[in-house]
Structures are given as structure tokens and as C-alpha cells.
Amino acid sequence: MDELMELAEKEISATPLTAATLDRLPAGMTRPLYDRQMLSPGIVHIGVGNFHRAHLAWYVHRLMQQGGATDWAIIGAGVRENDRIMREKLLDQDCLTTLIELDPGGRQATEIIGSMIDYLPVEDDNQSLITAMADPRIRIVSLTITEGGYFLDPETGGLDVAHLDIRHDAENLDRPRTAFGAMVAALRIRHANGIAPFSGLCCDNLLGNGEILRQSVVGLARLVDPELASWIDKDGAFPNSMVDCIVPATGSHERELARRIGVDDAVPVTHENFRQWVVEDNFCAGRPDWEQAGAEFSDRVHEYEAQKIRMLNGGHQLLANVGEVMGINTISGAMANPLIHAFFRKVQTEEITPHVPHLPAMSVTSYLDMIARRFANPAIVDTTRRVAFDGSARHVVFILPSIRDGLEAGMDVTGLALVEAIWARMCAGTREDGSHIEPNDPMWDMLKDTAMNARNTPLCWLQMTPIYGDLAANKRFADAFAAWLASLYRNGVEATIRHYVDQTTPA
């Protein structure tokens, strides 16, 4: 970091990234070999964040580099206010993206990808998005809208039909607020015009993500027009997929890194030297030959999803929450702490991996070793704050299923109870050094108030039924949680974790 700051003080010559300047970029930087003017759209992607550009957009780009997929270019889209900012920045650079791969040895590989050719206006009524998705050239609509963006009913796991945004879209489909409302509106136009439906491809970290997307789209359509819903359900397709690549948020560090390499990109993307995509081969209107770019098509996607979500995404929450409370800024920094590393290993080995399916390509132990190496990569500046964001959605998906499985099997859940206690301690809003933790969850005010009350009444934290459901009623889990939370406040985080690592039983 010191070296980076020293270099930042010097004048660095960097070429602004646009289609017109590609030939002026530094030698050795991979750039599109294809004529972007000859591309035609086949995919609309909603939620153009860093992960999408390092993952799905890269797979399409790789096919284009091989001379294929010229009719599968991506049109970007968004339904949130913040998407307007990303749109402006990407359009200024002709929708090109700088991808910088960082491996643990400090080596870098840089490529410019051009598989995205446009970014739709972000509008309150989503008319441009609807029109684009109604275009028969669009055969896939993909999404990365975060795990909390699917309007799941916390009690049933189905679509929350009482949510104000879902009710609005059901009653005002000509001007929907949500991505799902826009998808249903576009599918209604396609149905009326005799155009086959597109495939809906979820790229978020949800177990059975394709089925969750199906229930969101079909469930909303059923509120509008049962016949339309039946057509979408029967003729449409929503393949499940498992996506994996660690992609930090972009800040001044990443922009400066791109400039050091020689490219002036307002929103460059750094990522680890690992990428995986396992997909069901279930598309209703064709698909790119992604297997030629390294994707794997499998009928065991659910097992890959379960392994990755429980161990990698769950492991991220183990590290991020304790890192925030202890004032450790990065995931690699948390992994470098011997005590946190031991905590991570023990919870994973004793309470998460026993409930993870075994896949033939790699044992669970080897997969855990690989995750640990990836998390420890010091070249990836992935902040604990970014990973801890939206814990109210992420703990539900990444941590609580392992707790439920452990309780049902009569196995130990003491470590996972400590994980939840550390999250509650983090949501109180201060670190152990007294510094302030800025709001970091859509439900932050409620979480903070509950966390403050939980200091004296621990079980009120577990009584947040939209998150924990009936877990507060399980005495074994609730007692362990309460004891750990009391220990965190009485003895501190390090002493509490050390006690768990050495003895397990809460002090």
C-alpha cells in the first residue's frame, strides 16, 4: 500500500479507456479481437456490478475471442437509483471493462472485455428495459441483484405477495418497479405477439437460484394473468447455476492499480485467479456454447450450490463479522490472524462440512483447503465491510441452513451459535476499539436497536422471526447463543474465540 501511495504521487501516464483508444493501450494487455460493431444482442443483464463483469460477461467475451457468440452480446440494465451512476461511467467508456486478475504471488494479468454493447436508461417505469426484453433477439435475461432481492416470504420461502413493490407491480404492470415486474411485462408483450419466452438466468448466490427466479416471475405473473403465468411456467426456462469468483468492490486502490498498468478506467474490476460456473443445461431459446469457455453443464448443480454457499459464502460471513468487530479491514487480513483462522477451520470442519454433499471432482477437505488459500490471497483487497454487507439476507442463506441441519441431526452447533453472536455484536455498531461501524445493511436501524437490546436480553436477537424463524424456540441453540453473546461483551471477542477454539463450551 505504501508503494502504491508513493506511485500515486507521481504523474502516471494512462490511456483513457474507449473503443477509439484500444490500439493505444500498453502492449501485452489483452483486448477484444472481435469487431464489436458486428455484434448483436442476445442477453439482457439486470444488475451490472463487478461480479457480473468478471463472470458472465467474461465467459461471453471468451467465446467472442474464439470467433463465436457474435449474436449473444450483452445489454446492461438496472432498476435501482445507483445503477444510473454505473450506466453513466460505462457508457463514457463504450461499455468496455478492464479486468485485472491478481494471484497470490503478486502477478497480474490484464484484459479488456467488450461483450457488453449498451446500457439501457434506468427509468422509474422501466419502459426501456421492457422494450429491450420484448425484442425477439433477446433469448436470455440474466440477473445479479443480490440474495436479498427476490422478495422471499420469510415464513414460506415463496414469493412475498404482500410486499408493497410486488403489489404495485401486480396492479401497475405497465409501469413496474421491480426487475420481475419488468420481466413479466416483457413476457406479456412476447406472448401477445407470438414470440417465445426468454430463459431467466439467476447468477446470485441462492440455493436453487433458478427455481427462486421462476417463483418470483411466475408468482408475480399469476397475480396479473393466470394464463400468462402458465405459459411462462410451461414454455419458459429458469436454469439453476452455481457461480464463483471473488471480486472486490472498486475504489481508489483499484482505479490507481489500473492507471499503474496504463489504462484510465473509471470502474475497473479486480478479481482472483479462480473462476467457476456450473449450470443446468435447461434453456428454452438457445444459449452460448459456454462450455467452450470453461463453464460446466451438470445435473448436479444443487450439490455444487450447497457446497459453495455453505462453505465459501458461509465462510465469508465467519471472517467478515469478526474482522469488523476486531478492526481488521480485509478478508485476507482476517485469514492471516492465527486465532481467526483457527476459528474458521473449526466451525467449518465440525459444523458446516458434515452437511455438505461430497462431489467426485474434489473432496470436501480439499475444497476447504482451496477456499482458505483463496481467502488468504493478499493481492485481493476484499474488505470485511463489503463481505459483511446485508447480513440480514446473507446469514439466512449462508449460515442458518447449517444450523438447522445440525440441530436436526443432533450434532454440535456451538460454533455456529458463536458466529451468530458475533454478528449480533457487530450490529451493535461499535468495534472493540470503540470506533463506529457505519450502517451496512438495508435493515440496519432495526438490527442495531435489536443488538443493543440483546446485550441485556440476548434472546430478543433470535426473536427476529423474518431472519431466524423458529430457531429462538430451540433451547440448545438459544442457550449457546445467549452464553456466547454474554461472553463477547464480558470477555471480549479474542478471549471468547480462544475459549471456543480450545474448549468449545461458552465461558
pLDDT tens string 16-72: 999 999 999 998 899 999 999 999 999 999 999 999 999 999 999 999 999 999 999
Pair (204, 58) in one structural domain: yes
Pair (117, 261) in one structural domain: yes
Neighbours of 3 (CB within 10 A): 8
In this predicted model, what pLDDT tens digit does every residue of 224-238 receive, in sequence order?
Answer: 999 999 999 999 999
Pair (320, 295) in one structural domain: no
End-of-domain residue from the set 266, 299, 332: 299
Cα dist. 16→1, 20, 21, 61, 500 in Å?
24, 9, 7, 21, 52
In this predicted model, what pLDDT tens digit does every residue of 123-147 receive, in sequence order?
Answer: 999 999 999 999 999 999 999 998 8
Structural domain of 131: 2-299
End-of-domain residue from the set 299, 328, 348: 299
DSSP of 229-271, one letter per residue?
Answer: HHHHHHH-B---EEEE---PPP-HHHHHHHHHHTEE-SS-EEE
pLDDT over threshold 70, residue 321 = yes
Q: Residue 64 belongs to a domain with what CATH number?
A: 3.40.50.720
The pLDDT > 70 percentage for the chain reads: 97
Number of domains making up the chain? 2
Q: Which of 90, 9, 87 is nearest to 256 (CA)?
A: 9
- Is the entire prediction scored with pTM above 0.75? yes
Pair (226, 315) in one structural domain: no
Q: Tell me the three state secondary structure of residue 391.
A: helix
At 10 the pLDDT is: 47
Cα dist. 405→150, 209, 211, 261 in Å?
24, 20, 21, 48
Residue range 442-466: average pLDDT? Answer: 97
Pair (275, 359) in one structural domain: no
Q: Residue 322 belongs to a domain with what CATH number?
A: 1.10.1040.10
pLDDT over threshold 70, residue 5 = no
Neighbours of 409 (CB within 10 A): 11
Distance CA 18, CA 399 (A): 42
pLDDT over threshold 50, residue 243 = yes
Distance CA 103, CA 275 (A): 12
Q: Which of 112, 115, 32 is nearest to 69 (CA)?
A: 115
pLDDT over threshold 50, residue 497 = yes
Pair (208, 316) in one structural domain: no
Pair (315, 424) in one structural domain: yes
At 148 the pLDDT is: 87
Mean pLDDT across the chain, nearest whole number?
95
Confidence of residue 7 (pLDDT cuts 50, 70, 90): very low
Distance CA 338, CA 387 (A): 20
**Type and span of the H or E element at 278:** strand 276-279
Amino acid at 390: D
End-of-domain residue from the set 299, 334, 363: 299
Pair (198, 265) in one structural domain: yes
Pair (344, 293) in one structural domain: no
Pair (154, 258) in one structural domain: yes
Q: 327 — alpha (psi -120 to 50), left (phi > 0) or beta?
A: left
User: Which residues have C-beta within 8 Å of that of residue 364, sequence separation ≥ 6?
Assistant: 307, 311, 353, 356, 358
Q: Which of 148, 135, 208 is nearest to 179 (CA)?
A: 148
Pair (267, 294) in one structural domain: yes
DSSP of 293-323, one letter per residue?
Answer: GT-EE-S-HHHHHHHIIIIIIHHHHHHHHHH
pLDDT over threshold 50, residue 1 = no
Pair (68, 129) in one structural domain: yes
